[in-house]
Amino acid sequence: MIDSRTFDPNFKFLISSEPGGENIKKCFSCGTCTAGCPVREVTDDYNPRRIIRMAILGMKKEVLSSLSIWLCSSCYTCFERCPQDVRIPELMNAIKNIAVREGYLPSSMKSQLNLLASYGRLLEVTDFENEKRKESDLPLLHGQTEDIKKILEKLGFYREEQDRG
């Protein structure tokens, strides 16, 4: 049972001021997003209409701490169909951006950040890969890293110590 005394009435304003979350208040809960959602089709753990309703009610902690917000596959089916232009995948990203600031970063996303900082890509291009590329007559790639590390460091998403510890 939900307890309205724990709601944060400002949560929807916080979301609507975040890039991508601008249209959250336009949602009238028709459920078009959920009805056409391919993730929802295979699991009960993801329900965009429910997440949006909870967010508008002000259930900030429940929404931000839930793994559910990370289950959008970004297929944009709902984005195309939403009659209120809520732009759900972008709204989910806005909510996730807030969640990260509040300290909720799933471990798999943390690993992705470290990979990007280390290699500039999600997958490392090692000598082995370059050898394979050479055999296939493909141009060799740099294991370019410094720029992305710098960007992530400057924005506070990577610290050199993480690498060592």
Partner 1 sequence: MKNRTEANPRESEYTLFLGCTVPVRALNYEISARKVAEKLALHLSDIPDFSCCGYPIKSVNRYAYLLMAARNLALAEKKGLPLCTLCSACCGSLTEANHEIQEDEKLRKRINKDLFEWVGLRYEGGIRVTHFIRILDQEVGSLRISEQVLADLSSLRVAPHYGCHYTKPSTIYRRTEDPEDPKSLDELIKATGAQSIQYEDKLQCCGGGVLAIDEKIALAMAHKKLDHLQAQQADAMILICPFCNVMYEGNQRKIEKTFQTEYKMPILYYPQLLGLALGLEPDELGMKMNRVRTTELVKKINRRAD
Does 141 bind partner 1 (CB under 8 A)? Our answer is yes
The nearer residue to partner 1, 20 or 48, going by C-beta atoms, is: 20
Check binding of 50 to partner 1 (CB under 8 A): no
Q: Is 14 in the site for partner 1 (CB under 8 A)?
A: no
Q: Does 93 bind partner 1 (CB under 8 A)?
A: yes
Binding region for partner 1 (CB under 8 A) out of 7-15, 22-30, 47-55, 105-113: 105-113
Q: What is the CA radius of gyration of the chain?
A: 20
User: Within a 10 A sphere around the Cβ of 13, how many other Cβ atoms?
Assistant: 14
- What gap in Å lies between CA 55 and CA 75, rounded to an integer? 21
Q: Total residues at the site for partner 1 (CB under 8 A)? A: 60
Q: Which is nearer to partner 1, 4 or 107 (CB)?
A: 107
Rounded least distance, CB 160 to partner 1, Å? 15
Q: Which residue has the tokens 């009960």?
A: 44
Binder to partner 1 among 14, 30, 57, 151 (CB under 8 A)? 151
Q: Can you tell me the distance from the alpha carbon of 24 to that of 6, in angstroms, rounded to the nearest whole number?
A: 20
For helices 146-154 and 107-119, angle between their N-to-C axes, nearest 10 degrees:
130
Q: Does 92 bind partner 1 (CB under 8 A)?
A: yes
Give the binding site for partner 1 (CB under 8 A). Answer: 19-20, 38-39, 41-43, 45-46, 67, 70-77, 79-80, 87, 89, 92-94, 96-97, 100, 105-106, 108-109, 112-113, 116, 120-125, 129, 132-133, 136-142, 144, 147-148, 150-152, 154-155, 157
